[in-house]
Amino acid sequence: MENLKHVFEPKSIAVVGVSSDPKKLGSVILSNLIESNYEGKLYPINPKYDEIHGMKCYKSVSEVPEEVELVCISVPAKFVKTVIEDSGKAGAKGAIIITAGFREVGEEGQKLEEEIIETAKNHGIRLLGPNCLGAMVPSNNMNVSFSTANPPEGDVAFISQSGAFCTAILDLAMEQNLGFSHFVSLGNKSDISENELIDYFQNDSKVKVIGGYLEEVLYGQNLLSQLNEVENPKPLIVFKPGKSNEAKAAISSHTGSLAGSIQTYEAAVKQGGIVEAEEIDQMFYLMMGFSWADLPKGKNIGLITNAGGPGIIATDLVVENGLNIAKLSDETKKALREVLPAEASVKNPVDVIGDAPASRYSDSIEIMEKDENVDAILVILTPQRVTQIEETAKLIINTAQLSDKPIFPVFVGGKYVSPGLTRLYDNTVPAFRNLEDAIMVLAKMNKFREYVESDRQEAKKERSALLENLSKGQYSEEVKATLKDNEVVTLPETLVSKIAVEVGIDIPGQIVANSVEEALEFAGDKFPVVMKATTDAIAHKTDVKALYLNIDSEEKLRKAYAELEATIKQATGKDEAQVLLQEQIISKEEIFIGMNRDGGSDVYTKEGQGFGHLMAIGKGGIYTEVYKDMGYALVPSTEEEISEALRSTNVFKVLDGARGLDKLATEAVIKAAQGIQKMAILYPEIISFDLNPLLVTEERAVAVDLKVFVQK
Amino acid sequence: MENLKHVFEPKSIAVVGVSSDPKKLGSVILSNLIESNYEGKLYPINPKYDEIHGMKCYKSVSEVPEEVELVCISVPAKFVKTVIEDSGKAGAKGAIIITAGFREVGEEGQKLEEEIIETAKNHGIRLLGPNCLGAMVPSNNMNVSFSTANPPEGDVAFISQSGAFCTAILDLAMEQNLGFSHFVSLGNKSDISENELIDYFQNDSKVKVIGGYLEEVLYGQNLLSQLNEVENPKPLIVFKPGKSNEAKAAISSHTGSLAGSIQTYEAAVKQGGIVEAEEIDQMFYLMMGFSWADLPKGKNIGLITNAGGPGIIATDLVVENGLNIAKLSDETKKALREVLPAEASVKNPVDVIGDAPASRYSDSIEIMEKDENVDAILVILTPQRVTQIEETAKLIINTAQLSDKPIFPVFVGGKYVSPGLTRLYDNTVPAFRNLEDAIMVLAKMNKFREYVESDRQEAKKERSALLENLSKGQYSEEVKATLKDNEVVTLPETLVSKIAVEVGIDIPGQIVANSVEEALEFAGDKFPVVMKATTDAIAHKTDVKALYLNIDSEEKLRKAYAELEATIKQATGKDEAQVLLQEQIISKEEIFIGMNRDGGSDVYTKEGQGFGHLMAIGKGGIYTEVYKDMGYALVPSTEEEISEALRSTNVFKVLDGARGLDKLATEAVIKAAQGIQKMAILYPEIISFDLNPLLVTEERAVAVDLKVFVQK
């Protein structure tokens, strides 16, 4: 990770492929570097020239007499390997490859890319790109990209898998004055990946907020375990498109990789405390909010407005976003009463009335800011006849800069409110045109605070303890023996039963009885029981009775045993019969637990791609598909996370004894889910798992139909 | 309705309350009228002056020698009545009351408002307001408001219950050049209401689109029946806040009226073909889209983009919004291949690549526009290094203005894309910064087209036929006899059963048998049956057996009858016993049907407030509350609408035989729902209705537990 400094803080840079045409990419990069006041040494490289754009030009990197730390390459694809080779020999430690025409154009490009990776590795060169816009590092006065704009300096580190997404965010940043420490276009991620960058930024004191547009996250499980390790996590805001199948197809044709399921990603977002953005401007506003404001200490929002309507709209949005309308203290109300006209409402939302001058706004904000019941303030302004737009902005700036509570102005409108907004942005106050955006940002900031304040230390321990058992299943050899190349194989029932016992999953007791006495001994403490024929000779005949339910007394058992024994003997023609007895579970609710592995069986190792096993837990039985009422958790999940996944379902209300129903064995359900998680860790060869139903009674949660599939 | 012309197209206006101070409201209104080039006659009124702002000033309206058609009043509340009185005498036909301090400030204001309404009615004066911003009628060069801005002329008629919402929309309109025919601040709606205005605008040829911000819709059922009558409906875009209870409380303190349930409103939106806006800027963009573009003829969207990332994001959004990614014809792909570089994707989304000049965009748009598989085009531009932003805007304008398909440019970014957007707005091309907004508008335009193209004539007939039976129930007298002042009364079971039969709801057959022979005769063709004691003497005793289930043979019936008869005789001490026999329905699914009345029992009359009865239909039994899996329909609903409500639920999949289950009697469920709707129409005194469960088998849908509540 340390060696990423060669890319972001190099003491010298060679720009390979500078041309005499100032419009060509190489020249643009060189001039961007100069204009960004880069303080290190700069070497233009082009074999054709001795001098270029007034600077001495070298024929190759190795010809440069001094040390070159970073090379930026924009020569045609076929020449890139030679440049890397040469740079390596000259001792370069980093390369940014702008050039396109690699993996993204097909097989031949892929081969070219692999050769470059190999060459760079041999020389210890770290690669950014290829096929990227470059990197801007305002915190280091370095713009080594062909971007038309250079963002202001700030504390947001931004990475993007799409160059166009970069330019769109950059354009917004130029308009709204958002500053960046790093602005990195990932390109094909041939070497430097999002995981490593995120780790680097988590440890860089110049960075407060990390933002990323990622079309796929290849090493998901690794990213999560990396986030798990961070002691004081910085907000990581991620926008990942590809929810619809249509978009997944588009991503795949764009990046050549497969996008995982949306549920897997959502579970990862939750487990990793990732802040999710769902649109381009959301991404931007989230970075602005996290960068410019402190986190709210709670979810109680104070609203100040000069109009009733927008106050109502904001109220709806606050509630929809899971926040609260703060209950103002009596002291606050009293103080507000003194500064506001008689018609004004001093109840939250506080209506300062349409004729409010700037001072009435600032008086109200100052009073509300002191109220301990208020964690953040939304200041809503509509451009009415006497509204002092710029003056109000000015006074808000004064208060917002001194407060440790987020104070977010929302100036609703267009032309007239623009100068007010500009003034707010110029003074780094997160401001909005739109109630929805402002409240969404507050909600996500608060959720992130909750994540930061959760017992992450304990969760980390729990996860590590779980993964200590990786691949240590008692029956590993037997499971491995079933694997067939790439095929998906169903584990045999007997093996599944043994593993179920190993991981502590409750399954119905059963025996194969050879006599009625054996049957009675088994059934003694288990009534009611079920009795079945085991022989194939009659298992599928519908015209003979081979299944007896609801056997709840010795009398019934003896009668059924005698009948079934006779049936079996007749069917097999043998003089002995084996009868299968099973506990009959009278369930009050049926639960589904399923699991799918994202990635291969090496997903929990350093090299493993994918997010790991996703557990789905929820309503089972015939309504499983009808309601798709599921909570999700990624392995390794803490007990609390599994419990949360279950509690997030509707069927949990039934387990919990909603509306006078009996309370069922929720703890046993969670224990079953933990058993299944353990199974995935002991046997990561398990690719999917389907338990439907888990029968739940007041005391137990019994798995009656486990199906386990494995694949290498 | 015709007389609203006195307010919107008056030949002369008196402004009452013009002051010598040009900043006071009356003066602002006068100067707004002058600046808007109002062509009628203008009379400033103030008893203190003979001349004001260079115009002759009159002491009162009645002093004006010529006819005054409209008066605009901004004198203090206590003088308003006198002004109305005087104006009435002078023959005025309309009044806009700007003055606040009426219903919204409490009881006294309410009284004052009622007096004014009375006075105006006596003189045949129509009132807009009080407590409003006024009205702007750019289509008639008339700005009779104290707004700081006067919007461009256009074909959008906008009404708002919040003055601040008006100013916010106006400010956006000034920035983005959206034109209006009417811009009306409703204020307290003391006389002119949204219903009447909507009707007026539906019939005004200058209006293409109607927009409204409404905090409550008082006469909802009337609005729906009015929309039902319109032959060629114009889009009615409504933003109605108040989804959360907190917001409802805020509305109630703001407007003094109660907001109905969100489900009622959603059902009304669907039935009335109302276009729903959910945020301020959504409202604005919807008005822009509907005003400036033609409706798309289908849901197939073509995407053109200069970047992969935003293309993927757009794809997600298209699918999420219920639209399709258009499948381009081979001809289109071939033509695109010819104008695009080799690396470009000619599959939808079409990627014209980051270096696309304006002409590559316009070539692609022109080709795509001709494809019959494409109903609308989204042109996505990100500001890359060589992107010709303004030139691209110019070429898009040329194509968009000639096409009858919506072509919506989305310029993603901030500072650099702004001039391009401005150019698009100046040429009335609906343009966006944000993919979400653009796709939302397309989706809602398409949905509106589907509404317009639906068989509205047939639906109208069906609804009228239903309402012909209003209050014509056979047992009306009996129902009315149960009513008690304002109390909610439960209808007696026997009456409910009679009404159920009247409206064709299937209920379990039952008899009270006095002998086993009677019992046998009843059960003969109905096995299995249930047997119960009718006497109160044992109904609640848990230690005696008074309920026999699953009686499916003569033998079992005789045995049960004998036992129960003996039990009853013993309990009552009498020598005879009455036994209740009921068909036992073995249901495969349980359905809930409920109904709540919004408004009073007069809701289906002209004077009635409220939306009428809302039917909820969905999953019944113990999961009713757990899943709240309901579809909704407002009375009077067509059979199709009721069927749609049912089909919108998840439990419908079970009725419909999902995953190998038996198909159940869906038709019978719909018939039951129609029966319940009929009940509400025959007996509008019914305030709520609760049927849980309706037992559904392969052949029948049988109501076993009907509860009906009535209130005046």
Instruction: Copy the structure tokens of residue A466.
Output: 């779980």
* Dist. CA B237–CA B660, nearest whole Å: 43
For the cut 90, the answer to whether the pLDDT of residue A504 exceeds it is yes
- Could you tell me which residues come within 8 angstroms of residue B696 by beta carbon, excluding any fewer than 6 positions away? B587, B588, B589, B590, B591, B655, B664, B665, B668, B669, B702
What average pLDDT is seen over chain B?
92
Side chain identity at residue B104, one-letter code: E
β-pair type (B153-160, B180-185)? parallel
* Dist. CA B619–CA B652, nearest whole Å: 8
Q: Are the Cβ atoms of B246 and A318 closer than 8 angstroms? A: yes
Q: Are the Cβ atoms of A28 and B347 closer than 8 angstroms? A: no
Q: How far is CA A455 from CA A234, A450, A462, A638, A640, in A?
A: 16, 10, 11, 11, 11
The alpha carbon dihedral of B357, B363, B366, B372 has a sign of negative
Range in B60-64, B545-549, B688-692 the model is least confident about: B545-549
* Dist. CA A140–CA B441, nearest whole Å: 43
For the cut 70, the answer to whether the pLDDT of residue A476 exceeds it is yes
Q: Is A656 touching B (CB cutoff 8 A)?
A: no
Q: Stretch A465-472: mean pLDDT, rounded?
A: 96
Q: Is B150 touching A (CB cutoff 8 A)?
A: no
Q: Are the Cβ atoms of B241 and A309 closer than 8 angstroms? A: yes
Instruction: Supply φ then ψ for residue B152, to 5 degrees.
Output: -60, 160
**Residue B525: what pLDDT?**
84
β-pair type (B579-583, B529-533)? antiparallel
Q: For B652-695, write each residue's pLDDT tens digit.
A: 999 998 777 889 999 999 999 999 999 999 999 999 999 999 99
Structure-model confidence comparison of residues A144 and B659, the more confident one: A144
Q: Which residue in the block uniquely carries the two structure tokens 């004066």? A: B125
For the cut 70, the answer to whether the pLDDT of residue A33 exceeds it is yes
CB atoms closer than 10 angstroms to residue B450? 12
Q: Are the Cβ atoms of B661 and A622 closer than 8 angstroms? A: yes
Share of chain A above pLDDT 90, in %: 78
Buried b (16+ CB within 10 A) or exposed e, A470-491: ebebebeebbeeeeeeeeebeb
Give the chain A residue nearest B248 (alpha carbons).
A312
Edge-first strand listing for the sheet containing A547-551: A510-513, A579-583, A529-533, A547-551
What average pLDDT is seen over chain A?
92
Q: Which residue in the block uniquely carries the two structure tokens 């929805």? A: A436
Q: How far is CA B261 from CA B264, B290, B473, B596, B685, in A?
A: 5, 28, 28, 10, 19
* Dist. CA A169–CA A154, nearest whole Å: 14
SS3 B120: helix
Q: Stretch A178-197: mean pLDDT, rounded?
A: 95
Q: Stretch A544-554: mean pLDDT, rounded?
A: 84
Give how far the C-alpha of residue A387 lies from the chain's centroid of Cα atoms, to the nearest Å. 42
Share of chain B above pLDDT 70, in %: 97
**Cβ-based burial of B562 (10 A; exposed 0-12, middle 13-18, buried ≥19):** exposed
* Dist. CA A326–CA B408, nearest whole Å: 41
**Residue A572: what pLDDT?**
84
Q: Which residue in the block uniquely carries the two structure tokens 């080799």? A: B342
Q: For A350-388, write each residue's pLDDT tens digit.
A: 999 888 999 999 999 999 999 999 999 999 999 988 899
**Residue A164: what pLDDT?**
85
Angle at A169 (CA atoms; ends A164, A173), nearest 5 degrees? 145
* Dist. CA B295–CA B298, nearest whole Å: 9
Half-sphere exposure at residue A115, Cβ-oriented, CA atoms within 13 angstroms: 16
**Residue A537: what pLDDT?**
63
Grade residue A256 by pLDDT with cuts at 50, 70 and 90.
very low
Grade residue A244 by pLDDT with cuts at 50, 70 and 90.
confident
**Residue B257: what pLDDT?**
47
For the cut 70, the answer to whether the pLDDT of residue A109 exceeds it is yes
Closest CA to B688 of B605, B554, B607, B597: B597
Supply the ipTM of this predicted assembly.
Answer: 0.89
Which of B214, B382, B389 is the best substitution to test chain A (most A C-beta atoms within 10 A)? B382
Nearest to B250 among A28, A349, A435 (CB): A349
- Could you tell me which residues come within 8 angstroms of residue B76 by beta carbon, excluding any fewer than 6 positions away? B99, B101
Instruction: Copy the structure tokens of residue B676.
Output: 């319940």
- Chain A, 285 to 314: residues with Cβ < 8 Å from chain B are 306-313
Range in A347-351, A540-544, B10-14, B143-147 the model is least confident about: A540-544
Q: For A320-351, write each residue's pLDDT tens digit.
A: 999 999 999 999 999 999 999 988 889 999 99
* Dist. CA B640–CA A434, nearest whole Å: 39
Structural Rg of chain B based on CA atoms: 32
- Could you tell me which residues come within 8 angstroms of residue B103 by beta carbon, excluding any fewer than 6 positions away? B109, B110, B113, B131, B188, B190, B256
**Confidence (pTM):** 0.92
**Cβ-based burial of B230 (10 A; exposed 0-12, middle 13-18, buried ≥19):** middle
Give the chain A residue nearest B658 (alpha carbons).
A626
Q: Stretch B577-598: mean pLDDT, rounded?
A: 92
Which of A315, A321, A418, A630 is the best substitution to test chain B (most B C-beta atoms within 10 A)? A315
For the cut 50, the answer to whether the pLDDT of residue A216 exceeds it is yes
Share of chain A above pLDDT 70, in %: 97
Nearest to A309 among B215, B623, B658 (CB): B215
Structure-model confidence comparison of residues B620 and A246, the more confident one: B620
Grade residue B85 by pLDDT with cuts at 50, 70 and 90.
very high
Long-range contacts of B353-357 (CB under 8 A, 24+ apart): B353/B306, B354/A163, B354/A164, B354/B306, B354/B307, B354/B382, B354/B384, B354/B385, B354/B386, B354/B387, B355/B384, B355/B385, B355/B386, B356/B306, B356/B387, B357/B386, B357/B388, B357/B391
* Dist. CA B350–CA A13, nearest whole Å: 37
**Residue A211: what pLDDT?**
98
Q: For A629-687, write each residue's pLDDT tens digit.
A: 999 999 999 999 999 999 999 999 999 987 778 899 999 999 999 999 999 999 999 99
Q: Stretch B25-35: mean pLDDT, rounded?
A: 94
Q: Is A280 touching B (CB cutoff 8 A)?
A: yes
Grade residue B343 by pLDDT with cuts at 50, 70 and 90.
confident
The alpha carbon dihedral of A313, A318, A324, A329 has a sign of negative
The conformation of residue A51, written as its DSSP 8-state character, comes to E
**Residue B219: what pLDDT?**
93
Q: Are the Cβ atoms of A309 and B162 closer than 8 angstroms? A: yes
Grade residue B543 by pLDDT with cuts at 50, 70 and 90.
low
Instruction: Copy the structure tokens of residue A294.
Output: 């402190």
SS3 B689: strand
Grade residue B256 by pLDDT with cuts at 50, 70 and 90.
very low
Q: Stretch A409-419: mean pLDDT, rounded?
A: 94
Cβ atoms B499, B661 nearer than 8 A: no
- Could you tell me which residues come within 8 angstroms of residue B354 by beta carbon, excluding any fewer than 6 positions away? A163, A164, B306, B307, B382, B384, B385, B386, B387
SS3 A144: strand
* Dist. CA A240–CA A429, nearest whole Å: 27
The alpha carbon dihedral of B71, B76, B80, B82 has a sign of negative
Instruction: Supply φ then ψ for residue A191, to 5 degrees.
Output: -130, -70
- Chain A, 474 to 533: residues with Cβ < 8 Å from chain B are none
Q: Stretch A223-241: mean pLDDT, rounded?
A: 95
Cβ atoms A564, A590 nearer than 8 A: no
Q: Stretch A108-132: mean pLDDT, rounded?
A: 95
Range in A155-159, B101-105, B269-273 the model is least confident about: B101-105
**Residue A539: what pLDDT?**
54
Instruction: Give the DSSP H or E segment for B36.
Output: none
For the cut 90, the answer to whether the pLDDT of residue A298 exceeds it is yes
Cβ atoms B665, B699 nearer than 8 A: yes
Q: For B282-314, write each residue's pLDDT tens digit.
A: 999 999 999 999 999 999 999 999 988 899 999
* Dist. CA B693–CA B431, nearest whole Å: 51
Q: Is B644 touching A (CB cutoff 8 A)?
A: no
- Chain A, 88 to 117: residues with Cβ < 8 Å from chain B are 105
Angle at B72 (CA atoms; ends B66, B73), nearest 5 degrees? 115
Q: Which residue in the block uniquely carries the two structure tokens 């008629």? A: B157
Range in A68-77, A284-293, B547-556 the model is least confident about: B547-556
For the cut 90, the answer to whether the pLDDT of residue B544 exceeds it is no
Q: Nearest CA to CA, how far is B246 from chain A (Å)?
A: 7
Length of chain A: 712
* Dist. CA B554–CA B528, nearest whole Å: 10
What is B74-102 written as a DSSP string?
-S-HHHHHHHHHHHHHTT--EEEE----S
Structural Rg of chain A based on CA atoms: 32
